[in-house]
Amino acid sequence: MQLVDLLLENRGIFKPEEKEKFLNPSYEGDLHDPYLMKDMERACVRIFEAIQAKEKIVIYSDYDCDGIPGAVILHDLFKKIGYGNFENYIPDRHKEGFGLHQPAIDEFIKSETKLLITVDLGITDVEEVAQAESSGINVIISDHHITPEILPPAYAILNPKQAGDEYPFKELCGAGVAFKLVQAFIKKYGEYFEKTSPSTGSTSSPQAAPRTTRLTAGWEKWLLDMAALATLSDQVPLLGENRALAFYGLKVLRKNRRLGLEKLFSKNRVDLSNLTEDDITFTLAPRLNAASRMESPRIAFDLVTTNDENKAEELSERLSEINNQRKILVAGIMKEVKKNLAKREEKSLIVIGNPAWRVGVLGLVASKIADEYERPCFVWGSAGARPGLAPAFKGSCRSDGSVNVVGLMRELEADTLLDYGGHDMAGGFSVSQSQVYFLEANLLAACQKIGQTDGSTMLTTSQRRCEFDAKLSLKDVTMENYEAIQKLAPFGTGNPKPVFLFEGVEVSGIKKFGKNNEHLEIVLEEKVKAIQFFKNEKSFTKPIAVGEKINLLANLEKNVFRNKTELRLKIIDIL
């Protein structure tokens, strides 16, 4: 069996037509009609009416690497059609937190805003939406999070997960929903507005589009860069429509036309011609997210949207500085975590926190802990001010793959958490100062309950690590096989990178690299390099030494540095 066929069948793709569809995503074939989404027609007509009446529009987005790209998508649309009476509002992660906020809505009322469009938030903000609607602001919610039983009284709700929505694909990210809105807008824009005649400048209808309008079918494809950035960053399944968005979005990113991204890619030595999903998830997304974690999300938004060369340079430099500060902060917290956990009895999950820890980096800390300690992790910090209510701690959680963290939080007693949300592998929560002392015990009990009652089989980390797609030998580490594997890209949630087992290979060399020698490189039989970041000889199931034979689990990857290309292995575990 050919390697590609084997990898596809390992992913449950057996039929020839299914294999063809997976290997060759189609923009026209894989992207569904946006008007299949509930309320889409209503939302578009309301935006058309706002443009015609020159009403003030506010785009209110989340501050992460899903919300910001989604905000850019709508920003670019309004700029393209020459509509200037709009603004982008992004809440401050630390002062305001996630979601819609009444003080912000009060300001929109004062500025005579008539239409509020959310991106990647709003589906749980019942009171805030009611306040806006009762004050004369229509609200269009575009969101992808799980919907509550009681929906906000919005003018229109765009969320494929809502009850009664027949949209065929439910796993879009927030920016993905925003992209569908733009797709729908363009589809009906020419029908709603009579276009200005290029010869006379006259219009045949009072519903004339702005004279600067130059919208052609398919223009939205230039926005696929933002849809892909968010789809890859938000870790939604890279299947179906998401696979097509990521696949074509990476193509647009390789032709990048955004000055700020050009500066950021250049500063981090990213080769656009060889851009992959790894460059997004490990280089671009962390830097854009660092803006809201450490300072203001506006820095990231302005970087992506600016057309000014000097401003692009200045913002990319600032973002790099902020990201370095973020790394130092996370390293300091991790040092404290390790010291604390060294004194503790080992349990099936980890709950840890400190009121002094900055809430913006807790997700990164939780990911590192779950990775290193191979257990689900809940991290809390930074007591959040809640006007009129008792202080609370905010937290982030990450799974090691053994449990659904949102399902786990759902099993807790109603008064344990003030609120929570997220996905299978990652989430956020708030907990009162009185309940934080009982959080670990309650989560351990919930974990045990899920393991006993939901009928699922929880794999240990070692069991999960032993899973692989195929056995290869070192002579199979070839460009031909690498290119065959890349036919399945982009990789991510729902479509993981293929894992290969190399049995009985001899370690002929070991060395450290990196600024502080924090990374590991081993040479196998004097011909193939294998590397892993932030690891050493004792970091794996079996410690390694020169001259020993090992069983290696690894991905095959291509490294391009200073125009030199080499194939190498990325270590997952050594057995």
Q: How many Å is the Cα radius of gyration of the chain?
A: 25
- Residue 557 lies inside a defined structural domain of this protein: yes
Those residues with Cβ within 8 angstroms of residue 424's Cβ, 6 or more apart along the chain or in another chain: 399, 404, 405, 406, 407
What are the pLDDT digits (tens) for 35-49? Answer: 999 999 999 999 999
Domain assignment of residue 192, given as a range: 24-216
Q: Can you say whether residue 525 is alpha, beta or left, with left for phi > 0 and alpha for psi between -120 and 50 degrees? A: left
Please compute the mean of the pLDDT values over residues 257-276 and round it to a whole number: 94
Q: Rounded distance, CA 101 to CA 66, Å?
A: 19
Domain at 196, CATH number: 3.90.1640.30
Question: Which domain-ending residue is among 457, 492, 509?
Answer: 457
Q: What is the mean pLDDT of residues 286-313?
A: 97
Is the same domain home to 452 and 475? no
What angle do the packed helices 102-110 and 126-134 form, to 10 degrees? Answer: 10
Which residues, listed in sequence order, are joined to residue 86 by a DSSP beta bridge? 57
Q: Based on the structure, what is the number of domains in the chain?
A: 3
Element (H, E) at 375: none
| Residue 562 Cα to chain centre, angstroms | 29
Residue 472 sits in the same domain as residue 413: no
Quick: pLDDT tens for 231-250. Answer: 999 989 999 999 999 999 99
Alpha helices in 66-111 (DSSP H): 67-80, 102-110
Give pLDDT, residue 292: 95
| Omega of the bond leading into 387 within 30 degrees of 0 (cis) | no
Q: Could you tell me if residue 189 is inside a domain? A: yes
Is the model's pLDDT at 387 over the cut of 80? no
Residue 226 lies in a domain: no
Structure tokens at 318: 């600032």
Give me the count of residues in the chain.
575
> Is residue 221 domain-resident?
no
Residue with tokens 């997210």: 289
Most confident of 87-101, 246-260, 382-396, 435-449: 246-260
Question: What CA–CA distance (Å, rounded) separates 408 from 293?
Answer: 26
Q: List the beta bridge partners of residue 157.
A: 141
Q: Cis peptide before 490, with omega less than 30 degrees from 0?
A: yes
Least confident segment among 14-18, 134-138, 212-216:
212-216
Mean predicted confidence (pLDDT) in 298-305: 98
Q: C-alpha dihedral over 174, 427, 409, 241, to 10 degrees?
A: 40
Alpha-helical runs (H) found in 193-296: 224-233, 240-254, 259-267, 277-279, 285-294
> Which residue type is seen at 412?
L
pLDDT tens digits for range 63-100: 999 999 999 999 999 999 999 999 999 999 888 888 99
448 domain-assigned: yes
Nearest to 223 by CA among 182, 177, 264, 254: 182
Asked if 371 and 353 sit in the same domain, the reply is yes
Q: Give the count of alpha carbons within 13 A of 309, CB side only.
A: 0
Find, among 117, 142, 128, 127, the residue nearest to 66 by Cα. 142
Q: How confident is the model at residue 213 (pLDDT cuts 50, 70, 90)?
A: low
| Degrees, nearest 5: CA angle 69-74-78 | 140
Query: CATH code at 546?
Result: 2.40.50.460
d(CA 113, CA 48): 15
- 3-state SS, one letter per residue, for 265-290: HHHCCCCHHHCCHHHHHHHHHHHHHH
Q: How far is CA 20 from CA 4, 15, 23, 29, 104, in A?
A: 11, 9, 5, 12, 49
Clarify whether residues 57 and 78 are in a common domain. Answer: yes
The predicted-structure confidence for 329-369, as pLDDT tens digits, reads as follows 999 999 999 999 999 999 999 999 999 999 999 999 999 99
**Both structure tokens of 118:** 């959310």
Distance of CA 167 to CAs 177, 207, 244, Å? 11, 30, 16
What average pLDDT score do residues 272-290 get? 95
3-state secondary structure 428-446: EEEEECCCHHHHHHHHHHH
SS (H, E, C) 472-497: CCHHHCCHHHHHHHHCCCCCECCECC
Please tell me the least confidently modeled range out of 95-104, 367-376, 414-423. Answer: 414-423
Task: With cut-offs at 50, 70 and 90, classify the pLDDT of residue 458.
Answer: very low
Three-class SS of 300-347? HHHHHHCCCHHHHHHHHHHHHHHHHHHHHHHHHHHHHHHHHHCCCCCC
pLDDT band at 219 (very low <50, low <70, confident <90, very high): very high
Q: What is the C-alpha to C-alpha distance for residues 421 and 408, in angstroms, rounded to an integer?
A: 11
538, part of any domain: yes
Same domain, yes or no: 550 and 449: no
In the chain, the amino acid numbered 156 is: A
Task: Identify whether residues 201 and 66 lie together within a single domain.
Answer: yes
Last residue of a domain, one of 216, 247, 280: 216
Same domain, 177 and 103: yes
**Token pair for residue 137?**
């602001």
Q: What is d(CA 500, CA 140) in angstroms, rounded to the nearest whole number?
A: 47
Q: What is the DSSP letter of 203?
A: -
The yes-or-no verdict on residue 1 having pLDDT over 70 is no
Read off the pLDDT band of 327 (50, 70, 90). Answer: very high
Q: 3-state class of 362 per DSSP?
A: helix
Tell me, yes or no, whether 407 and 525 share the same domain.
Answer: no
pLDDT category at 515 given cuts 50, 70, 90 is confident
Tell me, yes or no, whether 175 and 114 share the same domain: yes
pLDDT value at 400 more than 90: no
Residue that is last in its domain, among 154, 189, 216: 216
Closest CA to 66 of 193, 213, 233, 179: 233
What are the phi and psi torsion angles at 186 (to 5°)?
A: -65, -35
- pTM assigned to the model: 0.90
Do residues 379 and 474 both lie within one domain?
A: no
Block residue for tokens 């100062």: 433
Say yes or no: 352 and 437 in one domain. Answer: yes
Read off the pLDDT of each residue in 434-458 and give the average, rounded to a whole number. Answer: 76
Cα dihedral 365, 367, 372, 378 sign? positive
**Burial class of residue 128 in the structure, from the number of CB atoms within 10 Å of its CB (0-12 exposed, 13-18 middle, 19+ buried):** buried
**Helix runs in 417-571, H state only:** 439-453, 461-465, 479-486
Which candidate, 120, 84, 123, 89, places its Cα nearest to that of 103?
Answer: 89
CATH classification of the domain holding 448: 3.10.310.30
165 and 184 co-located in one domain: yes
Per-residue pLDDT band at 316 (split at 50, 70, 90): very high
Residue 19 in domain: no
CA distance 127 to 369: 36
Tokens of 209: 């589009």
Which of 108-112, 326-330, 413-417 comes out lowest in average pLDDT?
A: 413-417
Higher pLDDT, 383 or 335: 335
**What is the maximal distance between C-alpha atoms in the chain?**
82
In a domain, 308, yes or no: no
For the chain, give the mean pLDDT: 91
